[in-house]
Amino acid sequence: MNTQEQQDYQRIAEAIDFIKTHFRKQPGLEEIAAQVHMSPFHFQRLFTEWAGTSPKKFLQYISLEHAKGLLKAEQQASLFDAAYETGLSSTSRLHELFIKIEGMSPASYKNGAAQLTIHYDFFPSPFGKVIIAATDIGICYMAFEEEESFAVEKLQTYFPHASFTKETNLLQQQALSIFDHKEAPLPEIKLHLKGTPFQLKVWEALLKIPMGQLTTYGTLAKQIEQPNASRAVGTAIGSNPIAFLIPCHRVIQATGNFGGYMWGPTRKTAIIGWEQAQIETTS
């Protein structure tokens, strides 16, 4: 991501923070633009280029009432159950995407991870710089990190016995294509995950949430037939090693509040709103 793109994302992030804080007042274009020191005309153009929709529409997408509406619709129409049956089908082009999973248990990781060679590199995304790492089997790690040395350190901590090579390969490029909603069809993406059986079950359930829809921790717990395990589900979601591809950002609190996110609540809000915008532009 070049300097200008970084500056653009920072402005968008500042605007989203302002919208999150003041959405109940429904701030107008001029008020939001003033917060990021831009003219309304230039802010409208920049925001629309980034999100694919106007700031006004985006405000609607991320409002608390809209989030509640999405959750209510899910409960009434059983959208989550339908998504579980139909894979990743949705009204967006993501219905083209099919993600295969090969899980590594902690025991198999301990015994064999020393044999792993992990290829990683950094790429621009609509939500800042992202590190994507892959084994020969599939994507094993993906995170939004601006500081490259810190990102590599975290990756190495997650896979302490593996060897690492900084290079771009086809698996990473395939994963990156998920951010380009104009590309169709999206390629098959395979994941190589290290986790407990419970974590893998939760992460697989996350993959069933359609783009543009939201669910809650409690609903997800019921979906995996562990209705009393909402807290454990939350812990597993918080341990998700693959940002965006495994859409933990689509899980919010039952109240409609978006809640926390490993890569920052502002980024979570941006992703939710951005995905709603893509649904709007492709439907």
Strand-pair category, 117-123 with 163-166: parallel
Question: In the structure encoding, which two tokens stand for residue 201, read together?
Answer: 């079950």
Q: Are residues 194 and 154 in the same domain?
A: yes
CA angle 33, 265, 249 (to 5 degrees): 115
Q: What is the pLDDT along the chain (283 residues), one digit of tens a residue?
A: 556 677 788 889 999 888 888 877 888 899 999 999 999 999 999 998 888 888 888 887 777 667 777 676 555 444 444 333 333 333 333 434 567 888 876 666 666 666 789 999 999 998 999 999 999 999 999 999 989 999 999 999 999 889 999 999 999 998 988 887 554 566 788 899 988 889 999 999 998 888 888 899 999 999 899 888 889 999 999 999 999 999 999 998 888 888 889 999 999 999 998 888 877 665 5
96 and 140 housed in the same domain? yes
Cα–Cα distance, 264 to 98 (Å, whole number): 27
For residues 23 and 71, membership in a common domain is answered with no
- Residue 47 belongs to domain spanning: 3-61
In the residue annotation, 140 being an active-site residue is answered as no
Same domain flag for 101 and 239: yes
Number of compact structural domains in the chain? 2
Q: Annotated catalytic residue: which of 13, 94, 248, 251?
A: 248
Residue 234 sits in a domain of what CATH number? 1.10.10.10
Amino acid, single-letter form, for residue 117: T
Same domain as 34, residue 78: no
- Residue 139 and residue 120 share a domain: yes
Per DSSP, which regions of the chain are E strands? 99-104, 117-123, 130-134, 139-144, 163-166, 189-194, 215-216, 251-252
Question: Does residue 22 sit in the same domain as residue 124?
Answer: no
